[in-house]
């Protein structure tokens, strides 16, 4: 009997310790992503500087090869969250997967349309090939969005979208002459230009509603509830404010250098510029106008997308709560004037 009582007290103590650990540190939340470029910087910086932990969440990131693989990982329960292109989320939704997207990491396209030697005008793009990571993913979306801004109809121009790999892989393909054109962040554009490629257009000043990455979770998720979404969004907004503060340039640039494996100072500087230009404010709420554009572009490659109910995929309740609480107003005070 005494032995049983001792075991009982040991179990009680272990349970107490376990509960205490849970109270002091949130369980890690794994976020899958596809595009390994500057769109990741709010997550990299927020994780590395402990910003998310200020709000009781502890996200980690897992790279996947493409948007479809990323969403398949989410659907199988391999991860509770994704940092996805809206196009990937829409495709998943029309395939029957119920998910909710609640916060965006960017709303500008600080990218250039880069072409190989021998192509000197937009008109000369007819019949040419563009490098992308997957059809319907974020790289494809930024490319199609750029063409939309330039009033180029991909079908009428008979453009060929070639699935090659991530941003670095596509850049190498263009430099080596294996693809004719690409739409890439300034940092990768500069790398290509040093090898003889040149720019036909700068999309950074394009006047269009756009969002390239959003945080999404399954609608029926045991790991991610409304409070978790709110706290993740707080961490995201705080991370974006940190990036926009010039005083933090060294920390942000170091994160980009390390994660993107940049060695040249000019590439690090260009990457830092992209990180700040892609979200010049803190407007992280999913933008319905932008998503309508994405739906229209996606319908060309997947007619089933026409059935998508965007208001069942995106939610503004999280950001509305942060606006109502005064959190967003306090964060905006941190922005440089």
DSSP 280-291: SS---S--HHHH
Give the DSSP letter of residue 27.
P
pLDDT band at 205 (very low <50, low <70, confident <90, very high): confident
Is 3.40.190.10 the CATH classification of the domain at 111-205? yes
Return the pLDDT at 25.
57
Other beta carbons less than 10 A from residue 56's beta carbon: 16
Other beta carbons less than 10 A from residue 156's beta carbon: 8
Q: Which of 121-125, 221-225, 237-241 has the lowest mean pLDDT?
A: 221-225
Burial class, 333, CB count within 10 angstroms (exposed 0-12 / middle 13-18 / buried 19+): exposed
Identify which has the larger pLDDT, 26 or 24. 26
Fold equal for 25-107+210-332 and 111-205: yes
pLDDT band at 7 (very low <50, low <70, confident <90, very high): very low
- The CATH number corresponding to 25-107+210-332 among 3.40.640.10, 1.10.260.40, 3.40.190.10, 3.40.50.720 equals 3.40.190.10
Q: What share of the chain is helix, strand, coil (3-state, %, to 5)?
A: 50, 15, 35
Burial class, 246, CB count within 10 angstroms (exposed 0-12 / middle 13-18 / buried 19+): exposed
- At 191, list the tokens: 């790398």
Indicate the domain borders of the chain. 25-107+210-332, 111-205
Closest CA to 114 of 133, 130, 135, 136: 130
Kind plus residue range of the DSSP H or E element containing 83: strand 81-84
Return the pLDDT at 248.
97
């Amino acid at each position: 009997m005494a032995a049983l009582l001792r075991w009982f007290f040991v179990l009680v103590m272990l349970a107490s310790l376990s509960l205490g650990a849970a109270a002091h540190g949130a369980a890690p939340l794994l976020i899958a992503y596809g595009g390994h470029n500057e769109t990741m910087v709010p997550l990299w910086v927020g994780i590395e500087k402990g910003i998310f932990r200020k709000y009781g969440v502890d996200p980690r990131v897992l790279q996947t090869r493409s948007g479809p693989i990323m969403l398949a990982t989410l659907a199988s329960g391999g991860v509770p969250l994704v940092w996805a292109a809206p196009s990937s989320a829409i495709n998943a939704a029309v395939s029957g997967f119920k998910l909710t997207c609640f916060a965006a990491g960017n709303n500008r396209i600080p990218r250039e349309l880069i072409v190989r030697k021998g192509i000197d005008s937009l008109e000369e793009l007819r019949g040419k090939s563009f490098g992308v990571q997957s059809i319907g993913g974020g790289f494809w979306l930024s490319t199609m969005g750029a063409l939309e801004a330039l009033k180029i109809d991909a079908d009428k121009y008979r453009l060929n979208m070639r699935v090659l790999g991530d941003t670095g892989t596509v850049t190498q393909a263009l430099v080596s002459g294996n693809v004719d054109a690409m739409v890439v962040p300034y940092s990768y554009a500069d790398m290509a230009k040093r090898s003889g490629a040149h720019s036909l257009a700068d999309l950074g000043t394009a006047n269009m509603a756009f969002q390239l990455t959003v945080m999404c979770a399954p609608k029926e998720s045991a790991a991610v509830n409304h409070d978790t979404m709110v706290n993740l969004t707080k961490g995201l907004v705080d991370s974006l404010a940190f990036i926009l503060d010039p005083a933090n340039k060294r920390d942000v640039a170091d994160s980009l250098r390390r994660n993107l494996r940049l060695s040249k100072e000019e590439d690090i500087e260009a990457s830092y510029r992209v990180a700040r230009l892609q979200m010049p404010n803190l407007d992280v709420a999913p933008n319905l106008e932008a998503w309508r554009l994405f739906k229209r572009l996606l319908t060309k490659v997947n007619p089933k997308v026409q059935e998508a109910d965007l208001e069942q995929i995106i939610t503004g309740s999280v950001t509305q709560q942060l606006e109502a609480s005064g959190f967003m107003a306090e964060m905006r005070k941190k922005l440089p004037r």
